[in-house]
Structure 1
Amino acid sequence: MVIPATSTEYLHVPVTAPAGTDLTGSPVKIAVVAHGDNPAEDEWHTAEWADGAARLLIGPDGGALTLTPSNYRVWITFDPPGAENIVRRAGSLTIN
């Protein structure tokens, strides 16, 4: 995905839940990082569920974070009912 640095919009991360699992009540966070390591605790931002995806508002006009032109890795973590606490690299994001 490519987003201009001047745009404020939702970054959507699609999530496929296991059959019979409702994720809408599960906490979800998204991290957008320029490095290759797992995100640090302070790099996670509280996201929300919308239409089967997690979403996070990004950008200079009220977003959870404002990104400068670069290539980023997008991560998601959520805690579904049960023993799992899932952390996944969800894709790449280019800000230009």
Structure 2
Amino acid sequence: MVIPASSTEYVHVPVTAPAGTDLASSPVKIAIVAHGDNPTGTEWQTAEWVDGVARLLVGPDGGALTLTRSTYRVWITFDPPGAENLVRLAGSLTIN
């Protein structure tokens, strides 16, 4: 995905949940980082579910993050009922 630095818009992360999991009741967070390591606790932003897709508003006009020109790694974590707490590298995001 490519977003201009001046744009404020949602980054969408589609999720395939474990069978029988109600995503709407599972807290979700997204981290958008410029480094190659796993996100630290302070890099996670609270996201929201919309029709089985996690989303986070980014950009200079009220986004959770204002990103400068670079290429970022997008991570997602959610905690469905049960023993699992899932963390996944979801893709990359280029801000130009």
Question: What's the TM-score, normalizing by structure 1?
Answer: 0.98
What is the CA distance between 1:52 and its match in structure 2? 1.1
2 CA distance for matches of 1:78 and 1:19?
Answer: 15
What RMSD, in angstroms, separates the aligned Cα atoms of the two structures?
A: 0.5
Partner of 1:25: 25
Partner of 2:78: 78
What is the CA distance between 1:82 and its match in structure 2? 0.3
1 CA distance for matches of 2:34 and 2:11?
Answer: 16
2 CA distance for matches of 1:88 and 1:20?
Answer: 19
2 CA distance for matches of 1:68 and 1:53?
Answer: 25
Work out the number of aligned pairs and report it.
Answer: 96
2 CA distance for matches of 1:19 and 1:38?
Answer: 26
Q: How far does the alpha carbon of each residue in 1:12-63 deviate from its partner, in whole angstroms, 9 at most, with x for none?
A: 0000112211110110000000000000111000000001110000000000
Partner of 2:2: 2
Identity %, equivalent residues: 83
Question: What's the TM-score, normalizing by structure 2?
Answer: 0.98
2:58 equivalent to 1:58: yes
AA of the residue aligned to 1:28: V
1 CA distance for matches of 2:2 and 2:61?
Answer: 18
SS in 2 for 1:24: helix
Unaligned runs of 5+ residues in structure 1 are none
2 CA distance for matches of 1:51 and 1:94?
Answer: 25
Unaligned runs of 5+ residues in structure 2 are none
